[in-house]
Amino acid sequence: MRRRRGRMIGHVWPPLRPWARSPLDAHARQDLQRANRLMEIGDFANAAFLYEKLARKVHDFGLPRQAAHLYVQAARAKILAGQVKPGLDILEQGLSTFTQAGLWEAFERVGSRAVDELRQQDQPQAAQDLAHRLDAMRLNRPLSMTPAELKESLHRALPLKCPACGAPVRPDEVEWIDENRAACDYCGGMLAA
């Protein structure tokens, strides 16, 4: 092989592993970073718009786990903006995306956390409505799967925020690639433990 201006001709680079690719182009990644910043400063309505837009894009790309987390984040932002009913509708869309993909552990964890957050925000009726919706969605769970079979994820040290998009990182919810690496739930970027 001969070199031309610093690169080798005829060299085939190994293909990217599926977990190393991100469905988000540079513009979408900027939107995600902007949405995360908007959440931090309390501009929940605009953050909700961006999260929902990104969730639809990622869902269309075929990544249900990331799409579901983005829907849930959009719902959270809407609820914090005072739009409880639309927020619950988007939350249900995110949770049903988990169930359709067979991600029951994430469904249980995110659903119970959402009920707790609604109670903490003085929304007891919304929390009760969501609890009923969760019970109805659980009816679709495969019979072979019981709550006892849903294992607790290992807690490992990860950054508090994704270095690529700035989204919050929860070690008990990320998809672990191996012992030391996990994928961001929002952008699919690599997180090192």
Every domain of the chain and the residues it spans: 25-141
- pLDDT tens digits, 121-150: 898 999 999 999 988 888 877 765 444 444
What pLDDT is stored for residue 49 in this prediction?
A: 96
Instruction: Give the CATH architecture of domain 25-141.
Output: Alpha Horseshoe (1.25)
Please state whether beta strands 3-4 and 175-176 pair in parallel, antiparallel, or not at all (unpaired).
unpaired
Report how far residue 156's alpha carbon sits from residue 146's, in angstroms, rounded to the nearest whole number: 25
What pLDDT is stored for residue 19 in this prediction?
A: 43
Grade residue 152 by pLDDT with cuts at 50, 70 and 90.
very low
Report how far residue 90's alpha carbon sits from residue 19's, in angstroms, rounded to the nearest whole number: 26
What pLDDT is stored for residue 186 in this prediction?
A: 82
Phi, psi of 52 (to 5 degrees): -65, -40
- pLDDT tens digits, 1-18: 455 555 545 544 444 444
pTM of the model: 0.70
Write down the number of H helices and E strands in the chain: 6, 5
Report how far residue 141's alpha carbon sits from residue 139's, in angstroms, rounded to the nearest whole number: 6
What pLDDT is stored for residue 144 in this prediction?
A: 54
Q: Is the separation of the CB atoms in 74 and 51 below 8 Å?
A: yes
- pLDDT tens digits, 34-58: 999 999 999 999 999 999 999 999 8
Structure tokens at 73: 């984040």
- pLDDT tens digits, 54-113: 999 989 888 899 999 999 999 999 999 999 999 999 999 999 999 998 888 889 899 999
